[in-house]
Amino acid sequence: MIAFTRLLEALVLAPSAEARRRHLVAYFAATPDPDRGWALALLARRAPVKPPTAPLIRRLAARRLDPVLLALAHEHVGDLAEAVALGWERPQSAGDDTSSAPGLADCLSLLADAATGSEGQLSVLEALLDRLPAGARRVLLRLGAPPPVGVTPELLQEALALLAPLRSAADIRAIWSALEPPFVPFFAWLEGRGPSPAGNRPVGLIEPMRAAAPPAGEAWVVAGGYVAEWKLAGIRAQLRLAGEGGAPRLHLMSGEDVAPRFPELQALPLQGAESVVEGLLIVRTGGGGDLAAIQRRLARARPNAALLAEAPVSFVAFDLLWQGDDLRALPFAGRRQRLEAWGRALGEGPVEIAGQFTLPDAASVAALRRQARSAGHRGLMLKHPTAGYGSAGPDGGPGWVDWPHDPLTTRLALLYLQRDPANGALELTFAGRDRDGTLVPVCRVAAPPEKPVRQALEAWARAHTVEKFGPVRSLGPGLGGTLAFQSAEPAPRRRCGFTLSEPVLLSLDWDFLPQAADSLVQIGALTD
């Protein structure tokens, strides 16, 4: 617990991904199993533990702390869990000796074994708080809370790859979702002491193929002999259908298995051989997909009947990676043939096979791009018929090219800044003008990751706060930004009337007049 506390404190303050990686590597190298595995589970949000609720913490405090002192401490610190953790009165006998403090795995197993009901939890927490120094007490009362900013599954995978040069981050990602905390066989495999915890079958996410960026101009398309697919407004995923029964798995690119969220896909007729199909999860609206609706579906672990009726999901398959055997080395044209056969066998249902277009001349390329935008797709995916799955891209040989629409840009005024008190993440809400010139929120984006920029933003926000609503600051005029986005999707329940897809903050304008913000009508018109 002491080592994990140090790691978390270092990660919170670390200014760069490089610093975070180094702290992680040092921790994983120095910490024995199963503590390091539980730490990994907590950082990857895979540990089955939830932080104590505020009422539980209040009852915990009432067992030990003077109410007047707690109120003063809470006011000073601003966070109840931290005030209780730091202000905890340990028994006189507890010294500063940290060598007898319980480990992370001990803490988690004591919490897991606690009698059900809050009394049992309270007694275990109380006993643990007595045995831990201040910083570790703070960690204990937040076990299961989101990890510090910048600690992503990708960063964890990179750090683990650095820990043991035997395995690459891609190797780790490939089996990521098949792993169970505390990952003891995983660390053994990582360090070359044991077999792959995944065995010899496709488990979890197969390392996804990356699409290259398009070269300049358009001549390369026809010359290259590419075929095209719509870049649908959906979420990329891999669907695995086990041959001998077993529930289908559905892996997002993060490695997460989201199959239980999509009962539509649970009912698929089972195929002969184990197969892995890649495609897009979409909710159809006319021709295109409704991104907001698919996000709604993803957010719901167990969708109710109303949501299933309102946002039925289709899986648009575009590649077949595994069918009894690894197909990735086959050229795309060959995989496509087998995919079509696979689709025919499946028949009508929630799984479709992606449409494909040939591009004989420049005019057809231009027409297809126009059509993509007007149909509400996000652009085109170009694929080379000879490319194996995983091949590089246009310059490094035949592959995939991700050809989005030329992005649209808009200038908006900064209206709110929100700081997540748990991990310090900053989110910016930008607004456009309605008919009366009032600023109306349009989209929320993450603040730029660079620390100086974030600090400048926070300093500016402190000086220009009009009102505070909890962690949200409403800001006065003066700061705006230019944002790029792919399209404006209609969203009747939002005040501005649309949702910007894939908004990206291009630049901040520190000398911005609110009158300079684009009007909602202008923005809405950009995609029509």
Decide: is 22 part of the binding site for another protein (CB under 8 A).
yes
Instruction: Label each residue of 430-492 as H, E or C.
Output: EEEECCCCCEEEEEEEECCCCHHHHHHHHHHHHHCEEEEECCEEEECCCCEEEEEECEEEECC
Q: Applying CB under 8 A, does 49 fall inside the site for another protein?
A: no
Question: How many of the chain's residues bind another protein (CB under 8 A)?
Answer: 36
What SS3 string covers 117-179?
CHHHHHHHHHHHHHHCCHHHHHHHCCCCCCCCCCCCHHHHHHHHHHHCCCCCHHHHHHHHHHC
Task: In whole angstroms, give the CA distance from residue 380 to residue 369.
Answer: 7
User: Among residues 1, 73, 160, 505, which is the contact residue for another protein, using CB under 8 A?
Assistant: 73
Pick between residue 98 and residue 109 the one whose CB is nearest to another protein: 98
| Tokens describing residue 1 | 């617990």
* Block residue for tokens 């499946």: 346
Closest distance between another protein and the C-beta of residue 123, in Å? Answer: 22
In the three-class reduction of DSSP (H, G, I as helix; E, B as strand; rest coil), residue 116 is classed as coil
**Of the two residues 19 and 184, which places its CB atom closer to another protein in the complex?**
19
Does 86 participate in binding another protein (rule CB under 8 A)? yes
Among the residue ranges 10-18, 122-130, 239-247, 387-395, the one whose residues contact another protein (CB under 8 A): 10-18
Range 406-425, binding another protein (CB under 8 A): 424
Is 36 an interacting residue with respect to another protein (CB under 8 A)? no
Q: Is residue 15 a contact residue for another protein (CB under 8 A)?
A: yes
Of 14, 155, 206, 457, the one binding another protein by CB under 8 A: 14
Write the interaction track for another protein spanning residues 112-151; mark x where CB under 8 A is met and - where it is not: ---------------------xxx--x-------------
**Residue whose CB is less far from another protein, 98 or 168:** 98
Q: Which of 45, 63, 76, 495 binds another protein (CB under 8 A)?
A: 76
Distance in angstroms (rounded) separating the CA atoms of residues 379 and 381:
7
With beta carbons less than 8 A apart as the criterion, state whether 7 and 39 touch.
Answer: yes
Q: Which of 28, 57, 82, 182 binds another protein (CB under 8 A)?
A: 82
Restricted to residues 180-209, the positions that interact with another protein (CB under 8 A) are none
Does 23 sit near another protein (CB under 8 A)? yes
DSSP string, 376-443: T--EEEEE-TTPPTT---STTSS-EEEEEPPPEEEEEEEEEEEE-TTT--EEEEEEEE-TTS-EEEEE
The two tokens of residue 93 are: 């006998």
Query: Cα torsion at 508, 514, 515, 516 (round to 10°)?
Result: 0
By CB under 8 A, residue 79 contacts another protein: yes
Shortest separation between residue 415's beta carbon and another protein, angstroms: 24
Footprint on this chain of another protein (rule: CB under 8 A): 6, 9-10, 12-15, 19, 22-23, 26, 65-66, 68-70, 72-73, 76-79, 82-83, 86-87, 89, 96, 98, 133-135, 138, 424, 451, 455
